[in-house]
Amino acid sequence: MFFRAHPVLFVVLCMVVFSTKPTFGQDYYAGGAARPMRSPLNSSCNCVEITPNEFNRAGRVYGLDKINLLADFNLEFDFYLGNQDGGADGMVLFLHNDPRGYDAVGTFGEGLGYGPRPDNSTRITPSFGVEIDTWQNGSPVNDPSQDHISLLKNGFNWHSNTPNFTQTFPTVTLPNIEDGQLHRVRFSYTFATKTINIFFDGVLRITRVDDIAAYFGTNDAFWGVTGGTGGARNQHYFCNPNGLLSMAYITVTTPLDLCLNQLANMTGNTGSDDPANFDFQWLRDGNPVTGATNITHITDVPGVYTLQMTGRSTSLANGCVYTTRPQTIVANNVLPPAIPSALLVGGGSSCGVSSGSFTLTTTGGTEGSYRWYRDLGAGVIVPIAGVTGSQYTTPTLTVNTTFYVSVTNGLCESIRVPFTIVFNNGTPATPGAINSNLASVCQNGVINFSVTPVANTSFYDWQIPAGATYVSGFGTNNIFVKMGTSTPTGTQNVQVRTTNSCGSSSFTSTTTQVLALPVKPTISANGATIFCEGGQVTLTSTTASSYLWSNGATTRSIVVNLSGTYSVQTFNVNACGSLSSDPINITVNPLPGTPILTSDKIGNQICNGESITFTANAAGAAFYNFRVDGVIVQSGVSNQFITSSLTNGQQISVDVLSSTFCQRSAAPIGITVNPVISPTVNISGNLNLICDNTPVQFTSNVTNTGGFAMQYQWRINGQNIAGATQTTFSFNNFRNGDLVSLVVTPTGAVCNRVVESAPFPIAVASFPSPTLRLTTNQPSNSNILVNEYDTLVFQAQLDLVIGQTAAQYRWLRNNNYITGENGQTLTTTKIKDGDVIMAEVVYSTICFNNLVARSVAIPVAVRTRFVSDADIRKLIIYPNPSTGVYNIDTQAIQMDQIFVEVINNYGQTVYQVAKDKQSNVFQIDLSNQPAGIYQVKILAGQQVIFSQLVKL
């Protein structure tokens, strides 16, 4: 990194690329008469004036970085040589390694700022370049009469057969180039062949093979452009046709790594132009620094700084805007090391000698904590690598050279102490009057003191007030001093003297007035310091004469509506600024995006009771409050609100909140809730039990229509019947079990409900084929085995017949009808072995008459029992005959239970009873029977005993 301690003009140039030649860009500075300008020929701001159209002027521009001589390179510029054919003198484009570095300079006039005049031996050497000359100088220069170009060496621009001829090559004459036009010159070098080609206006004019690196004895070299006028004059300038040529840069006269309480002193540069011809704006991290509109900016705020310079109408660079390369200032919150002592020269004094090597010695730090620097000229200061001790031995010097030393603590460094090795024969003169930029200075303020430079001075020894510290320029003729808060107020003395290895001068003195600071202010806020966008807070300073807030405001109170850290500095009547107040942090939380509230229903219309979904969308929203007519009905993180309970005309809105609870509301949505038309439908038919192909007429009764017309659609089994769209419906092609219904749809209503009537069932009576089922009182209904005279019961049951209107039963024994048996039940004891019993039914339906159905035939097997006299004697009946009551004595029957059955002459059972034999005699009563002979049948286990009784 280079540190520049003196004003120079910084130029940024982008070089052109030719075929396979490498590209490189350079930083530049300018000296002498050089200054930035806008070319009147093409309005380019990428131009530098080398000399104005004035007598006896010289100017120079040098590249800050050297050119690599071990690689190909190209230098190409457009040169303007003036518009006066009798003008003078010209310019030189060249390389050099003169020990003066960036301060290397020749003489004006025929020296072109590069070579000597006959009365001045100053020249730039060693060097190698091409001159562009417009004036014929006599001996010893011996220029041709025409404008010309030529290769030059070692700072000589003489064209003659003198011993110096070896430093100058033959010239190439040109037509008049003082024609008010730009002329392009290209200096091209091919390293592999060591070939130099010089082009003028696109024409190859000079070719030479020369090992430039071998000539210089180094691998790199400075390069630049110089020019001059003498007794004749012309304006001279050059432009970069291939890119930027910016002459803005920052001079930093302090360390870039600041310690606690250190300040950075940065200055822009305008070359030889007056800074008053430019507008300045300092930027930190890309943002304008409030109030920083001077060429110099002193600050303790870290950041990346640039300076924007805009040429005013009084400048040749009118309207041109130049922005410097960025300069980074780093702040470390540590105390700076002490300033090292002034350098002492040992190992031989420079007093009275013209060359030598010298040992510089300092104190104040520890071994390994020192940094040493060398000034290369033009204020370009570079570190001396590898030297960290308290002593440094210089190389052999032949010209005055300035060195610096500082102390570092690893994070930042102290102010640098300069010392110039001067070759002289005496003590330097006493400095002249001390100049100051201010008549008075406040405590904590910065003031500049300077004296005119004194020849042969190694070090300027300043005496400053107590409590004051150096900002920059320590040991030089131009210092910036910051008064401390402890510096005594009132009149204070400032002194300076000059020193070198021969001795010191007397002190020169001046005084300055130090003014007291106001009390450090405090800030009060009239509300919360954290709020949402759109809010504000008023910050108020304690009372003072004037105010300067960190945002540039100058009122006692400021209204703040932006996030940031705010502080205030107050000023008293002497315009002395206090220490800045403690900062106050204001946080303005952003609002969420403007919410958009939508619903999933077209036109925001719904039917009564219908569900509707509202969705809110907003960037940065975290919470949602949904409202119905202004009342919150749902809060949470969901951006949807679903409801089916809205009424007509209600307003739905939403408040969206960010994660910091900043709120923004959506415009409300009005809801239209339409009534639902839901008719009541009933249908009726004239028949529901029909025969095949019997037409049925249906009618409808529709109520609750809301006054709207209805659409009708009749259906059978859920399927629409084509054309059946009237209030009535007739149909004859039914099948049994068909269901008829009517669908009614309101028309003209926004909201309607399609309603279907209850189904009307249809029963169709087809030709029946029922089954007549027979059951008996026996265990089996198919193969029946009974004892003779057992009572046998048959039951007939006809399956359900749709539409049945009548039924008559008949019984058959052995396919012969049994007289008088017309019921569903047949009870008999007159069954004979082998009889076959069946039933028959005659029935009718609504569609068919006198249909006959027969049951299956049931065969009956009868076991015959022969009764002996002994069995008969077991049964005693008395009195017999009788008019009604009989005693039956069963003493001879050995069974616990008996079954007694009395049968009349028709085979009908008129009396039957089961008896437990709790006694041997029991009674039967036939009082209600007609007179006649009755058979008595007693079943006791497997015994069947018969007897007779007579009823009188």
pLDDT, one tens digit per residue, over 688-699 is 678 878 889 999
Using an 8 Å Cβ cutoff, are 786 and 863 in contact? Answer: yes
CA angle, residues 282, 294, 466, in degrees to nearest 5: 105
* C-alpha distances out from residue 811 to 838, 854, 910, Å: 6, 10, 21
Rounded to 10 degrees, what is the CA torsion of 97, 103, 108, 111? -10
Of the three residues 745, 765, 785, the one that is the final residue of a domain is: 765
State the pLDDT at residue 565.
96
- Please report which confidence band the pLDDT of residue 874 belongs to, taking 50, 70 and 90 as the band edges: low
In the predicted structure, residue 241 carries a pLDDT above the cut 60 = yes
Residue-wise pLDDT tens digits, 254-278: 778 888 878 888 888 888 889 999 9
Q: Residue 895 — very low, low, confident or very high, per pLDDT cuts 50/70/90?
A: low
The confidence score (pLDDT) of residue 772 equals: 84
Is pLDDT above 80 for 935?
Answer: yes
Are 566 and 617 in a shared domain?
A: no
Where is 873: in which H helix or E strand? helix 869-873
pLDDT grade, residue 378 (50/70/90)?
low
**Weakest mean pLDDT among 66-80, 179-193, 873-887:** 873-887
- Which stretches of 52-146 are assigned E, i.e. beta strand? 58-63, 67-68, 73-80, 90-96, 127-133
- More confidently predicted of 10 and 507: 507
pLDDT tier at 379 (50, 70, 90 boundaries)?
Answer: low
Q: How confident is the model at residue 120 (pLDDT cuts 50, 70, 90)?
A: low
Q: Of 135-149, 296-310, 373-387, give the lowest mean pLDDT range.
A: 373-387
Q: Which structural domain, as residue segments, surrounds residue 794?
A: 772-863
Retrieve residue 252's tokens.
């930093």
Look at 67-71, 131-135, 230-234, 352-356 and tell me which has the smallest mean pLDDT.
352-356
Which of 56-65, 453-462, 808-817, 878-887 has the lowest average pLDDT? 56-65
- At 195-221, the pLDDT tens digits run 999 999 999 999 999 999 999 999 999
Q: Are 356 and 396 in contact (CB under 8 A)?
A: yes
Quote the percentage of the chain above a pLDDT of 90.
Answer: 53
- Spatial contact of 541 and 526, defined as CB atoms under 8 Å apart: no
**What average pLDDT does the segment 45-63 reach?**
91
Q: Is residue 572 part of a domain?
A: yes
Domain check: are 670 and 680 in the same one?
no
**Within a domain: residue 624?**
yes
Q: Are residues 361 and 393 in the same domain?
A: yes
531 in the same domain as 505: no
Side chain identity, residue 311 = G
Instruction: Report the C-alpha gap between 217 and 211 in whole angstroms.
Output: 10
User: Mean pLDDT throughout 827-849?
Assistant: 85
Q: Give the list of residues 6+ apart from residue 517 with CB closer than 8 angstroms, or none.
A: 442, 443, 444, 485, 572, 576, 577, 578, 579
Flag whether pLDDT at 532 surpasses 90. yes
Query: Residue 382's pLDDT band (boundaries 50, 70, 90)?
Result: confident
Q: Residue 916 — pLDDT band, cuts 50, 70, 90?
A: confident
Please tell me the predicted confidence (pLDDT) of residue 869: 56
Kind plus residue range of the DSSP H or E element containing 731: strand 728-731
Mean pLDDT of 184-192: 96
How does pLDDT run across 490-504, given as a tens digit for each residue? 999 999 999 988 889
Position 630 pLDDT exceeds 90? yes
Do the domain assignments include residue 337? no
Domain boundary among 863, 886, 921: 863
Tell which residue, 338, 335, 326, 402, has the closest CA to residue 369. 338
Secondary structure (3-state) at 808: strand
- How high is the mean pLDDT of the chain? 87
3-state secondary structure of 103: helix
Taking residues 185-200, report their average pLDDT: 96
Say which residue, 190 or 411, is predicted with more confidence: 190
Beta strand spans in 359-416 (E): 359-361, 370-375, 380-383, 391-393, 401-407
User: Which of 455-459, 595-599, 662-666, 875-879 is predicted with the least confidence, judged by mean pLDDT?
Assistant: 875-879
| 420, pLDDT greater than 70 | yes
Q: Is residue 162 part of a domain?
A: yes
> Where is average pLDDT lowest: 135-144, 225-234, 283-292, 870-879?
870-879
Task: Give the confidence band of 753 by pLDDT, cuts at 50, 70, 90.
Answer: confident
The torsion of the CA quartet 168, 174, 178, 181, rounded to 10 degrees, works out to -120
Q: What is the pLDDT of residue 200?
A: 97
Looking at the structure, tell me whether residues 135 and 187 fall in a common domain.
yes
- Taking the C-alpha atoms of residue 698 and residue 686, their distance in angstroms, rounded to an integer, is 7
Q: Please tell me which residue, 11 or 329, carries the higher pLDDT value.
A: 329
Tokens at 676, concatenated: 């639902």
Q: Which of 17-21, 167-171, 828-832, 925-929 has the highest mean pLDDT?
A: 925-929
Both structure tokens of 850: 């006198």
Can you point out the beta strands (E) in 154-247? 168-174, 182-190, 195-200, 203-209, 220-228, 236-239, 245-246
Nearest to 533 by CA among 494, 590, 573: 590
Domains contained in the chain, number: 9
* For range 164-175, the mean pLDDT: 70
For residues 638 and 694, membership in a common domain is answered with no
Which region among 80-84, 320-324, 656-660 has the lowest average model confidence (pLDDT)? Answer: 320-324
CA distance 732 to 749: 35
Tokens of 302: 């870290």
840 and 889, same structural domain?
A: no
Tell me how far CA of residue 936 lies from CA of 252, 789, 881, 895, in angstroms: 153, 11, 13, 18
What is the C-alpha to C-alpha distance for residues 461 and 468, in angstroms, rounded to an integer?
Answer: 15
Q: Which amino acid is at 579?
A: L
The answer, yes or no, to whether the previous bond of 879 is cis (omega within 30 of 0) is yes
- If asked whether residues 846 and 938 sit together in one domain, one would say no
Determine, yes or no, domain membership for 338: no
Q: How confident is the model at residue 20, as a pLDDT?
A: 27
Compute the residue count for the chain: 952
Output the pLDDT for position 834: 85
Please state the φ and ψ torsions of residue 739, each to the nearest 5 degrees.
-120, 125
Question: What average pLDDT does range 189-195 have in this prediction?
Answer: 96
**How many whole angstroms from its chain centre is CA 791?**
104
Residue tagged 């280079």 (tokens): 2
**How many angstroms separate the CA atoms of 157 and 169, rounded?**
9
Same domain, yes or no, for 643 and 680?
Answer: no
CA distances to 7, 39, 101, 508 from 322, rounded to whole Å, are 17, 15, 26, 40
Q: Please check whether residues 109 and 24 belong to one and the same domain.
A: yes
Cα torsion angle, 196, 201, 202, 203, sign: negative
Q: Which pLDDT score is estimated for 12?
A: 38
How distant, in Å, are the alpha carbons of 389, 786, 788, 875, 947 from that of 865?
Answer: 156, 11, 7, 16, 13
693: left (phi over 0), alpha (psi -120 to 50) or beta: left
Domain final residue pick, 403, 423, 443: 423
Output the domain CATH number for residue 284: 2.60.40.10
In this structure, are strands 446-450 and 435-436 parallel, antiparallel, or unpaired?
Answer: antiparallel
Do residues 60 and 32 make contact, with C-beta atoms less than 8 angstroms apart? yes
Report d(CA 695, CA 392) in Å as an integer: 132
Q: Are residues 714 and 807 in the same domain?
A: no
**How high is the pLDDT of residue 346?**
61
- DSSP 8-class letter at 165: G
Q: Kindly report the CATH number assigned to the domain that includes residue 378.
A: 2.60.40
Residue 892 lies in a domain: yes
- With respect to residue 237, please indicate whether it lies within any of the assigned structural domains: yes
For 767-802, the pLDDT digits (tens) are 778 888 888 888 877 778 887 777 889 998 888 766
Q: What is the DSSP letter of 727?
A: S
Q: Please answer whether residues 284 and 303 qualify as being in contact, where contact means their C-beta atoms are separated by less than 8 angstroms.
A: yes
Give the residue carrying structure tokens 């079943």.
939
What is the distance between the alpha carbons of residues 17 and 700, in angstroms, rounded to a whole number? 99
Top-confidence residue, 246 or 395 = 395
DSSP 643: E
Residue pair 900/936 in contact (Cβ under 8 Å)? The answer is yes
pLDDT at 651: 97
336 domain residue, yes or no: no
pLDDT value of position 872: 58
Q: Which of 826, 886, 281 is nearest to 818 (CA)?
A: 826
Per-residue pLDDT, averaged over 819-839, amounts to 88
- Note the pLDDT of residue 24: 32
Q: Answer for the pair 144, 171: CB distance below 8 angstroms, yes or no.
A: yes
pLDDT at 278: 95
Q: Are residues 793 and 736 in the same domain?
A: no
Rounded Cα gap, residues 97 and 329, in angstroms: 32
